[in-house]
Amino acid sequence: MSSEPIENRKAASSSEAELQAHFAKLEAQFDRLRAQVRQAQQLSSLGTAAAMIAHEVNNLLTPILGYAQAAEQADDPQLMKRALAVTIRNCQVLIAMSDRVLNVSAARSTTPEAVNLRKVIEEARASLCRDLDKDGIRFSCQVDESVWVWADPLQLQQVFFNLFLNAREAMAPSHSGRLALTGMLHGDRVVIEVRNTGPAISAERLPHIFDALESSKSIDGHGPTRCSGLGLALCRDLIEENHGTIRAASDEAAGTTFTLTLPAHPQDQWGTA
């Protein structure tokens, strides 16, 4: 028997092994790039909220500085005591704000667990670092505390944070509006609606709002739209990673509604989760 076929098989086997190693290397590089893009998407949302967060931080620091300066100049033990109380209280709020911002910006893989839907909604609302009523926006959450979903809690918090941030941007200029949430169990799924009464998204743009680099927002509220749709693209990706769905509807009469579905945590475990 000729040795050439054996040598050919050895060469083919070596080439196949090299090709597999190359594909494995490319896959690892792709995973790293995907993680970096995810982190950029998350930080993009925080960049949008940066001015609002900075304003709230300033509101907390101003009385600390004012009381400290007054207490330093006056020989008044009661004033010093009040200054310390304000400093402690506002620093505790600042620490809580920082923790929430860090959670929103965290990049991590999907780790599903039993999540109380009402709790994660309240965490996302707190992560805005500014009460919505300061912008004339009424907030309501008709989600019973008994409703649990099976999802990654931080990823779900990121989704609600982005939806709340978008709703605030839509309604804050008019200093009026309503942001309402409902959540109901339907079989083995939980259906959540996030509705805001801001300006409607045009019918032409609505089918594309979950596309990366697509946006319904304009540069100054009047000009051409800018490419800043990372927030909703991220929402879609995170919801799908948690085996859920997200869709949007919008019209002038009802505003914009995002409908999310997520796997429900089994009812027989809700009481002990």
Over residues 116-133, the mean pLDDT reads 92
pLDDT at 209 over 70: yes
Least confident of 60-74, 92-106, 107-121, 179-193: 92-106
For residue 146, the model assigns a pLDDT of 93
Q: Percent of the chain beyond pLDDT 90?
A: 42
Domain boundaries, the chain: 1-107, 114-270
For residue 164, the model assigns a pLDDT of 95
SS3 265: coil
pLDDT at 196 over 90: yes
How many other CB atoms are there within 10 angstroms of residue 11's CB atom? 10
Q: Which CATH number fits domain 114-270: 3.30.565.10, 3.90.550.10, 3.20.20.140, 1.20.1260.10?
A: 3.30.565.10
Would the pTM of this model clear 0.85, i.e. be above it? no
Most confident of 83-92, 103-112, 182-191, 232-241: 182-191
Least confident of 163-172, 186-195, 225-234: 225-234
Most confident of 94-98, 119-123, 229-233: 119-123
Q: What is the pLDDT of residues 49-103, one digit of tens each?
A: 677 778 678 878 888 888 888 888 888 889 889 899 989 988 888 888 777 777 7
Average pLDDT of the chain is: 81
What b/e sequence results for 21-50 when a residue is b if at least 16 CB atoms lie within 10 Å of its CB, and e otherwise? eeeeeeeeeeeeeeeebbeebbebbbebbe
d(CA 227, CA 217): 8
pLDDT at 234 over 60: yes
